Amino acid sequence: MNCDDARRLLHAYLDDELDAAGSAAMAAHLDGCADCAARCREHERLHQALKQPGLYRRAPAALRERWTPRRDTDAPVAQPAPSRRPLAWAAAAGFAGALLLAMPLYHAMQQRGATADVLVDEAVSSHLRSLQPQHLMDVVSTDQHTVKPWFDGRLDFAPRVVDLAGAGFPLAGGRLDALDGRSVAALVYRRRLHVINVYEWPAAAAGASAAQRESRRNGYTVLRWTDAGMHYLAVSDVDPAALREFAADLRRGAGTGDAR
Partner 1 sequence: MPIEAPAAVPPPPPAVGARFEAVVLPWLDAAWNLARWLARDDADAQDVVQEAMLRALRYFDSFHGGDARVWLLAIVRNTYFTLRAKALPLEPLDEDSHPLVDERATPEALTLLAVDVGSLRQALERLPPPLREALVLRELEECSYKEIATITGQKIGTVMSRLSRARERLRLELAQPARGGATP
Considering only CA atoms, give the Rg of the chain: 25
Q: Which of 257, 147, 140, 256 is nearest to 200 (CA)?
A: 147
- The residue from 31, 64, 77, 116 that contacts partner 1 (CB under 8 A) is 64
Residue 61, interface with partner 1 (CB under 8 A)? no
Residue 11, interface with partner 1 (CB under 8 A)? yes
Region binding partner 1 by CB under 8 A among candidate stretches 48-56, 186-194, 222-230, 246-254: 48-56
Neighbours of 166 (CB within 10 A): 10
- The residue from 2, 20, 32, 58 that contacts partner 1 (CB under 8 A) is 58
Residue 211, interface with partner 1 (CB under 8 A)? no
Q: Which is nearer to partner 1, 43 or 213 (CB)?
A: 43
Residue 209, interface with partner 1 (CB under 8 A)? no
Contacts of residue 32, defined as CB under 8 A and 6 or more positions apart, other chains included, come to none
**Cα 165–134–181 angle (5° rounding)?**
85
Site for partner 1 in 67-126 (CB under 8 A): 67-70, 114-115
CA–CA gap between residue 127 and residue 243 (Å, rounded): 14
CA–CA gap between residue 108 and residue 99 (Å, rounded): 14
- CB 72 to partner 1: min, Å: 13
Q: Which is nearer to partner 1, 54 or 86 (CB)?
A: 54
CA–CA gap between residue 197 and residue 234 (Å, rounded): 6
* Sign of the four-CA dihedral 165, 249, 138, 51: positive
Region binding partner 1 by CB under 8 A among candidate stretches 141-149, 151-159, 228-236, 238-246: 238-246
Residue 51, interface with partner 1 (CB under 8 A)? yes
- CB 56 to partner 1: min, Å: 5
Residue 251, interface with partner 1 (CB under 8 A)? no
Alpha helices in the chain, H assignment, sequence order: 3-14, 20-32, 34-49, 61-67, 75-78, 87-115, 118-130, 144-150, 240-255
**Cα 168–174–176 angle (5° rounding)?**
145
Q: Which is nearer to partner 1, 28 or 241 (CB)?
A: 241
Give me the residues that bind partner 1 (CB under 8 A), please: 7-8, 10-12, 15, 17, 35, 38-39, 42-43, 45-47, 49-52, 54-60, 63-64, 66-70, 114-115, 216, 219, 221, 239-241
